[in-house]
Amino acid sequence: MATSSNAPLPRGYQLLNYTIVKQLSAGGFSIVYLAHDESDHPVAIKEYLPNALALRKEGDLVVATSADKLALFRHGMKCFFEEGKTLAAISHPNVVRVINFFRANETVYMVMEYERGRTLQKEIQLSDGGVRENVILYVFAHLMNGLREVHLHKLLHLDIKPANIYIRRDGSPVLLDFGSARVALGPQVNKFTPMYTPGFAAPEHYNDRENLGPWSDIYSVGASLFACMSGMAPQAADQRAKEDRYQSVRKAWAGRYSDSLLELVDWCLMLDPLARPQSVREIQKALVSVATEPQQKPGLLTGLRDTIGRLGQIKLGGRGDKQT
């Protein structure tokens, strides 16, 4: 069933103390704007606006497309609002910073810090023959610190992919565009528009949503690592369930990347959720293992230890690991 696209708020529109500058992106679930606050500081504002449930053709008010979809629209709006509250409580350099959230125009808005840089997807497109291993290790070591903080707050991302991993100008990554509220809308909306990204979504996104957990985000991490190496997403998980054509990266790219890193990708991309790493901490330990391989540059292990451990989340010492 085709759905209509929603009209964005116009340039110059005043939304509380924020002035809309332009639309940054739009999808089936939301529209993201660049705006300025009263101090002329740039922010990104995400507007809850699922095309399958609500429509705004003119003006500013959002209206449900039909009476039977109103309850589902409001349920999704409540989940979006609660997600904003949870994210606002997370202060981590590798997780998008939510600085405000509010209701207006019969919908909900989430105000975030505006980041400058480009997506990991763009980095992949610019790479020749795959992203360099030292770049992969640097980005994902930082990113796992942020994702672990998200999981500690009992929140899942559920849409990790290179397009949602932003690389700042200083090279540090930040995790953007959480999909938790999207998934909360469930299969009733899926028949109108996908609520996941094929290739990066775990098998349980498709028909086993009660089993979504940290291991689901970990599958997406594996798929993102795969994309860094190959330039494309792996075969979609629902298709793999029917006819699995996934080729072990340890076999496909032996010699191009460290054995331990290739093993980590294969591990994360297991179809069985119980066969994958069950926590981000296991990925962090694996990344440190990669850095111990002889072909790595001197000092990389120390850098990864510092990256993973400096925020007090996991300490790696001679007598074993200690979770804080």
At 170-220, the pLDDT tens digits run 899 999 988 765 665 555 544 444 567 899 999 998 887 788 899 999 999
pLDDT value for 35: 98
The DSSP 8-state label assigned to residue 7 in this structure reads P
pLDDT value for 318: 31
Q: What is the mean pLDDT of residues 257-263?
A: 94
User: What are the residue ranges of CATH 1.10.510.10 in the chain?
Assistant: 117-323
β partners of residue 119: 166
Query: CA–CA separation, 112 vs 131, rounded Å?
Result: 28
Q: Which long-range contacts (CB under 8 A, 24 or more apart) does 298-306 make?
A: 300/134, 300/137, 303/138, 304/137, 304/141
CB atoms within 10 A of CB 31: 21
pLDDT value for 323: 30
Q: Hey, what CATH topology would domain 15-113 get?
A: Phosphorylase Kinase; domain 1 (3.30.200)
The percent of residues in the chain predicted with pLDDT above 90, rounded, is: 56
Specify whether the CB–CB gap between 2 and 14 falls below 8 A: no
User: Which residues make Cβ contacts (< 8 Å) with residue 119, sequence separation at least 6?
Assistant: 162, 163, 164, 165, 166, 167
pLDDT value for 17: 96
Q: Predicted confidence band at 64 (pLDDT cuts at 50, 70, 90)?
A: confident
pLDDT value for 273: 96
The helix-helix angle for 259-268 and 214-230 (nearest 10°) equals 130
> Exposed/middle/buried for 205, CB within 10 Å: 0-12, 13-18, 19+?
buried
40: left (phi over 0), alpha (psi -120 to 50) or beta: left
Q: Predicted confidence band at 223 (pLDDT cuts at 50, 70, 90)?
A: very high
Specify whether the CB–CB gap between 112 and 37 falls below 8 A: no
pLDDT value for 28: 79
Identify the weakest region by mean pLDDT among 6-15, 80-89, 138-147, 312-321.
Answer: 312-321
User: What are the residue ranges of CATH 3.30.200.20 in the chain?
Assistant: 15-113
Give residue-wise pLDDT tens across range 101-138.
999 999 999 999 999 999 999 999 998 889 999 999 99
**CATH of the structural domain 117-323, one choice from 1.10.10.10, 3.50.50.60, 3.40.50.300, 1.10.510.10:** 1.10.510.10
Q: In what order do the strands lie in the sheet with 165-168?
A: 117-119, 165-168, 173-175
Residue ranges of the alpha helices (H) in 127-258?
Answer: 133-152, 180-184, 187-190, 204-207, 214-230, 237-242, 249-252
Q: What is the mean pLDDT of residues 257-267?
A: 95
Identify the weakest region by mean pLDDT among 17-26, 61-70, 133-142, 144-153.
Answer: 61-70
Query: CA–CA separation, 284 vs 272, rounded Å?
Result: 21
**Whole-number average pLDDT of the chain:** 84
Angle at 80 between CA 191 and CA 148, to 5 degrees: 100
Q: Which long-range contacts (CB under 8 A, 24 or more apart) does 99-103 make?
A: 99/43, 102/16
The answer, yes or no, to whether residue 88 has pLDDT greater than 60, is yes
Q: Predicted confidence band at 5 (pLDDT cuts at 50, 70, 90)?
A: confident
pLDDT value for 322: 29
The answer, yes or no, to whether residue 98 has pLDDT greater than 70, is yes
